[in-house]
Amino acid sequence: MRFSPNIESVPFPPISAVKEWITGRTFTAERPLVDLCQAVPDFSPAPELIEQLKPLLDDPQTSKYSPDEGLPEVREAVSAWLTRRYGNGPATAEVCLTIGASQAFWLALLTLCRAGDEVILQLPAYFDHPMALGSLGVVPVYAPFNESRGGIPDPTVIEALVTPRTRVLLLVTPSNPTGAVIPPAVIDELFDLARRHDIALLLDETYNAFLPPGPSPHSLFGEAGWQKHFIHIASFGKTFALTGYRAGALIAGTEVIHQALKIQDTMAVCQPRLTQHAIRFGCEQLDHWVTANAAMMQRRHDHFVEIFDAPGNPFKRVASGAFFAWVRHPWSELSGWAAARRLAMEADLVCLPGEAFGPGMEPYLRLAFGNLPDARIPVAVERFRQFPL
C-alpha cells in the first residue's frame, strides 16, 4: 500500500511516542510514575453537570444528529459565555460546535488554505498544528523563539515573515507549550498586521478559562468587521473537565462558517448532542465553578514556580502558565528527545521533548504540571532537582 508523501513526512504523535517508553513498566506507591506528558485536569466535571446529563441518556433525541453547526440554544449559550469573558462576543450564527478544538482548527485550515500556502507559527508551536499543516502540504513558517521574551510573539519579526503565499497567522494563547499569555496590546498589533496583509489571525484560546484575574484577554470581538480577519478556536474540554467529550467550537464570521460547514458535514456531521448539552449547562451554570478551578490552578502554578525556581535546580524554567512550564534541560550534548528519555527511564518521570514543538527546540522540555494535585507537585519537582547529571 502506498501512502501520501505528505503524511509520511509528518512525525508520530509525541505523547504516544513518549508513553511507549513506559509501556509494561511497573510503578509502586513508594515510587509512582510522575506524568507531565499531557494536559488533563485531575478534577472531575462538576457534580451538577453530571446530574444534568444523566436523564438525557434515556431521551431518544439525545442519540440523534443535530444540525451540523450544533443546536441553536447551545450556540447561543457559547456566544453569551464568550461575551462575558471578552466584553463582546460573536453572534449565535458565528458559532460552529466541533469535535474538540482540534477539529475546529482543521475546519479553519481546510477552509482557508490549500497545498503550498503558508501559515506563520510562533515557536515553540503546539505540535498538532504543524502536524496538520504537513498532512495537507501547507508550509509552516516559524517565528523564532526568543527566550528573553518567554515566547511572546514580536509583531515586527512576524511581519517580516509575511509573503504573498501567507494565508494565516496562527497563535496559541495562553501558549501550549510555554503557558505564556500574549498581552492584549500585542494581540491588537497582530490583528492590525493581519488586516494590513489581508490574512487571517487564528487564535487558539483553549486555556482562556485559566487566565489569572485581570482585563479581557483581548478586545477583538469588539472591533468593527472582526469577522474579516479574526478566527477564534474555543475549547471547553479543559474548562469543564470534559476532555473525553471533545467539546470545541469554531468562532468566525458567517461567510467562514458557511464554507466550513461543507467540511463539517463530510468530516463529522455534528458534535454529539450529549457533549452539546454539557457545554450548554457549563456555559450557563458553572461560572463560579470555573472561576474556582482557575484560582486553584493558579495556586498550583505559583507553588510549582516557587519550589522549581529555588536555587540548586539544574533545570531552568524559561516560561510557565496555568498548565505548562517550558524548561531548559542541563545537557548541552543531548537532544530534547534524549533528555526526556533519560528522565523517563531513570526518574520515572515523563514529559515532552522540545523538538516536538518545532525546529531548534532541542534544549527544552515541556512539563504539563497542571494535571498534578497539590501534594504531587513537590514529588515531581524533587525528581528534577535531585536528578544526577
| CATH 3.40.640.10, domain 63-287, yes or no | yes
CA dist 106 and 332 (Å) reads 36
Residue 79 has a pLDDT of: 98
CA distance linking residue 354 with residue 12, whole number of Å: 15
pLDDT tens per residue across all 389 residues of the chain:
888 888 888 888 899 999 999 888 888 777 888 899 988 888 899 999 999 999 999 999 999 999 999 999 999 999 999 999 999 999 999 999 999 999 999 999 999 999 999 999 999 999 999 999 999 999 999 999 999 998 899 999 999 999 999 999 999 999 999 999 999 999 999 999 999 999 999 999 999 999 988 889 999 999 999 999 999 999 999 999 999 999 999 999 999 999 999 999 999 999 999 999 999 999 999 999 999 999 999 999 999 999 999 999 999 999 999 889 999 999 999 999 999 999 999 999 999 999 999 999 999 999 998 888 888 999 999 999 998 88
pLDDT of residue 129: 96
**Which cell numbers in the block locate residue 286?**
458553572
Which residue in this structure is represented by grid cell 436523564? Answer: 55
Q: Per-residue pLDDT tens for 303-342?
A: 999 999 999 999 999 999 988 999 999 999 999 999 999 9
The CATH number of 5-44+289-385 is 3.90.1150.10
- Residue 305 and residue 319 in contact, taking contact as beta carbons nearer than 8 Å: no
Residue partners of 362: CB distance under 8 A and separation at least 6: 335, 336, 353, 354, 355
Q: What is the pTM of this model?
A: 0.93
Spatial CA neighbour of 18 closest among 338, 334, 362, 388 = 338
- Domain borders along the chain are 5-44+289-385, 63-287
Tell me, yes or no, if the two domains 5-44+289-385 and 63-287 fold the same way: no
